[in-house]
Amino acid sequence: MRILYVTSEAFPLVKTGGLADVSGSLPAALKHLGADARILIPGYPQVLANLRDPQPLIELKWLPAIGNVQLIGGHMPDTGVPVIVIEHRDLYDRSGGPYSDTLGQEWGDNALRFGILSRIAAILSSKISPLVDWIPDIVHFNDWQAGLTAAYMRYSGAPHAKSVLGIHNLAFQGNFPPEWVEKLGLPRQAFAPEGLEFYGHLSFLKAGIYYADAITTVSPSYAREIQTAEYGFGLQGLLAHRARDIHGILNGIDTQEWNPAKDPYLPQNYDGNSLDKKVRVKQALQQRSGLHEDAAAPLLGVVSRLTHQKGLDLLLHCAPALLEQGCQLALLGSGDPALEQGFMLLAQQHPRQVSVSIGYNEALSHHIMAGADMFVMPSRFEPCGLNQMYGLRYGTPPVVRRTGGLADSVMDTNEFTLNRKTATGFVFDLATPEDLLATLLRALASYGDKNQWSAIQTNGMKTDLDWNRSAQAYLEIYRSL
Ligand code: ADP
């Protein structure tokens, strides 16, 4: 089976969040199961610099609005999955991130930059594809950035392939002024409620939901939640209408990249049989972060985008009470200026108890994951979430809100789950500081009971988080189409 996996980021070529992790892992897991999966991605400088054995593949000529485009073939540096890169100087050769400039301002021509990604995905999956000897059976296109793929497939002639939209976060929809419909070469009559239109805008994600043959999302709970007003961001009606075609599959994690026994970013490696060594990682983290070097102080870890979604304002609210209990906090992230400032102020007031690093730092994220005692993720919504799974794998029990993939991957600690050896973390229901605090206090009580704590750590470390299980489920959907 040939699968074209269309994405705007893929680890380790380029990453801003969970989509990159999935795009790095899922095609590799599919390949491992015998499928022929290839990635299609825009050629930002980071992608071209990190691509293994790049070769010019083919030139696409006279595309509307942008002219000629060079496709480069290559491979993922670690897994060897084939990659097709769209090289276009004006569109992608810029300093800054994939979506925004160095000041965090979104690029003004994102509709064009990602419309082209969708358009080329459709060209490569049509019968007139210039890659004559590789036409996909399935085009799996992800999030709003690739959201127009199925619309282009519909309007550019009978498609050979079936299309699957992967939703990693419904909050980002790619909504643009209607002028873009024509500029992107889409038929004007498609700008309708039964088509591309969403509240007067051209919506990339809505178009994907409308035109895709099937829809996947990254956890079973999120698949249900997005069909409700609370989590649907206005798209719940259309999603409910497509309920039969929506499949929720929990992400796996890259168990090579995230392996405490081999992690090169850690000053000390450990596994389930040598959990006592984890304290040395904690000590090094306290040292590096300027925290009081106290093995007994419960150290809470956070690695996250600092946005409303992630609910870290709730943690900021209950931080004073936690610090009074002798807790420490190591936080890494960036995002809303108000949240950044709130946490930085907390660190200034309690430099020996709170360390805040603003920015993106792969090495520190691994160190926090391993060195913290527990990992906090109070998300208001969470399609899947990866960090709680990294926490499980690193013997750092997660404290999470019962939503989306958090609900599907973390088992709350209580008498019943302790007896059944299934307790892996702490789960709360309401997005309030009170509910979070009560649950953190419950986790702290458990932390004080060394036997109970190590049982929870061990249960988490034994959880099957491998991609293989999820990749099998994706293959079944592809086959059914
Ligand atoms: P989301 O995709 O919504 O941001 P996920 O939990 O699904 O959240 O994935 C986030 C990924 O990005 C994880 O791999 C996490 O470790 C990483 N990450 C987030 N913020 C940072 C940061 N500041 N530095 C390093 N890695 C980060």
CA of 415 to the centre of ligand 1 (A): 32
On whether residue 266 sits in a domain, the answer given is no
Query: Is residue 140 domain-resident?
Result: yes
What element of type H or E holds 221?
A: helix 220-225
**One-letter amino acid of 204:** F
Nearest CA residue ID for atom 12, ligand 1: 17
* Torsion angle, alpha carbons of 386, 390, 392, 397, to 10: -90
- pLDDT of residue 65 exceeding 90: no
- 296 with 413, same domain? yes
Q: Report the distance separating Cα 7 and Cα 114, nearest Å.
A: 10
Specify if 260 maps to a domain: no
Same domain, 347 and 475: no
Does residue 437 lie within any of the structural domains?
Answer: yes
Query: Does the pLDDT at position 152 exceed 70?
Result: yes
pLDDT beyond 90 at 156: no
Q: Is 362 in the pocket of ligand 1 (CB under 6 A)?
A: yes
Lowest mean pLDDT among 24-28, 159-163, 201-205, 397-401: 159-163
Q: Which runs of consecutive H residues, i.e. helices, occur in 276-431?
A: 278-289, 312-324, 337-349, 362-371, 387-393, 404-409, 415-419
Distance CA 46, CA 23 (A): 16
**Residues 335 and 352 both lie in one domain:** yes
- pLDDT of 159 strictly over 80: no
Contacts 24+ apart (CB under 8 A), 17-22: 17/305, 18/168, 18/169, 18/218, 18/251, 18/383, 18/384, 18/385, 18/386, 19/142, 19/143, 19/168, 19/169, 21/251, 21/253, 21/254, 21/386, 22/142, 22/166, 22/168, 22/218, 22/251
Q: How far, in Å, from the CA of 384 to the mean position of ligand 1?
A: 12
Per-residue pLDDT of 285-311, as tens digits, reads 999 999 999 999 999 999 999 999 999
Residues 112 and 235 in one domain: yes
What is the overall mean pLDDT for the chain?
Answer: 96
For 138, the enclosing helix (H) or strand (E) is strand 138-142
365 with 454, same domain?
A: yes
- CA 455 to chain centroid: 29
Q: Are 238 and 349 part of one and the same domain?
A: no
HEC string of 301-330?
Answer: EEEEEECHHHCHHHHHHHHHHHHHCCCEEE
Contacts of 204 (CB under 8 A, 6+ apart): 111, 114, 115, 118, 144, 145, 147, 148, 173, 174, 175, 176
Query: Which residue puts its alpha carbon closest to atom 15 of ligand 1?
Result: 387
The DSSP line for 77-120 is TTT--EEEEEE-HHHH--SS-SSB-TTSPBPTTHHHHHHHHHHH
**Whether the CB of 422 sits within 6 Å of ligand 1:** no
Mean pLDDT check: name the lowest of 120-134, 342-356, 445-459: 120-134
Examine residue 263 and state whether it is found in any structural domain, yes or no: no
| CA–CA distance, 302 with 129 (Å, rounded to integer) | 46
Q: Indicate if ligand 1 lies below 6 Å from the C-beta of 285.
A: no
Return the pLDDT at 160: 79
Distance between Cα 411 and ligand 1 center (Å): 21
Ligand 1 close to Cβ of residue 342 (< 6 A): no
| Helix (H/G/I), strand (E/B), else coil: 404 | helix
Domain co-membership, 378 together with 237: no
Distance 59 CA to ligand 1 centre (A): 35
Q: Which atom of ligand 1 is nearest to the CA of 382?
A: 3
Average pLDDT over residues 86-115: 96
pLDDT value, residue 158: 56
- 209 with 128, same domain: the answer is yes
pLDDT at site 131: 86
Q: State if residue 387 touches ligand 1 by the CB under 6 angstroms criterion.
A: yes
- Residues 211 and 288 placed together within one structural domain of the fold: no
Residue 31: C-alpha distances to residues 47, 136, 159, 169 (Å): 21, 14, 24, 25
Residue % of the chain over a pLDDT of 70: 100
Whether the CB of 21 sits within 6 Å of ligand 1 = yes
Q: What's the pLDDT at 178?
A: 98
339-370 confidence digits (pLDDT tens): 999 999 999 999 999 999 999 999 999 999 99
In a domain, 206, yes or no: yes
Nearest CA to ligand 1 atom 2: 18
Chain-centre distance for alpha carbon 277:
30
Report pLDDT for 17. 87
Task: Give the mutation target among 305, 309, 401 for probing the ligand 1 site: most ligand atoms within 8 A of CB.
Answer: 305
Asked if the structure places residue 261 within a domain, the reply is no
CA distance 451 to 444: 13
Per-residue model confidence (pLDDT) at position 312:
98
My answer on whether 50 and 199 are in the same domain is yes
Host domain of residue 414: 275-461
Looking at residue 224, the DSSP 8-state letter turns out to be H
Cβ–ligand 1 distance for 305 under 6 Å, the answer: yes
Structural domain contains residue 268: no
Q: Atom of ligand 1 at shortest distance to CA of 377?
A: 6
Closest residue by Cα to atom 17, ligand 1, is 17
Asked whether 332 lines ligand 1 (CB < 6 A), one says: yes
Atom of ligand 1 nearest to the CA of 251: 7
Testing ligand 1's pocket by substitution, the residue of 145, 251, 360, 375 carrying the most ligand atoms inside 8 A of its CB is 360
Domain with 451 in it: what CATH number?
A: 3.40.50.2000
Atom number of ligand 1 nearest to Cα 369: 16
* Dist CA 405 CA 77 (whole Å): 29
Q: Is 304 in the pocket of ligand 1 (CB under 6 A)?
A: yes
Residues 314 and 240 in one domain: no
Q: In what order do the strands lie in the sheet with 398-401?
A: 354-358, 328-335, 299-306, 374-377, 398-401, 426-428
Instruction: Tally the domains of the chain.
Output: 2
| Among 478, 465, 92, CA closest to 255 | 465
pTM of the model: 0.94
Tell whether 302 and 386 lie within a shared domain: yes
Q: Give the Å distance between the CA of 304 and the centre of ligand 1.
A: 5
Instruction: Give me ligand 1 centre to Cα 18, in Å.
Output: 6
Give the pLDDT score at 99.
97
Atom 20 of ligand 1: nearest residue by CA position: 304
Mean pLDDT of 423-434: 98
Q: What are residue 356's DSSP bridge partners? A: 331
Quote the ligand 1 centre to 332 CA distance (angstroms): 10
Residue 333, ligand 1, Cβ within 6 A: yes
Q: Is the CB of 460 under 6 A from ligand 1?
A: no
Q: Are 148 and 207 in contact (CB under 8 A)?
A: yes
Distance in Å, CA 385 to ligand 1 centroid? 8
| Contact between 35 and 475 (Cβ < 8 Å) | yes
How much is the pLDDT for 170?
96
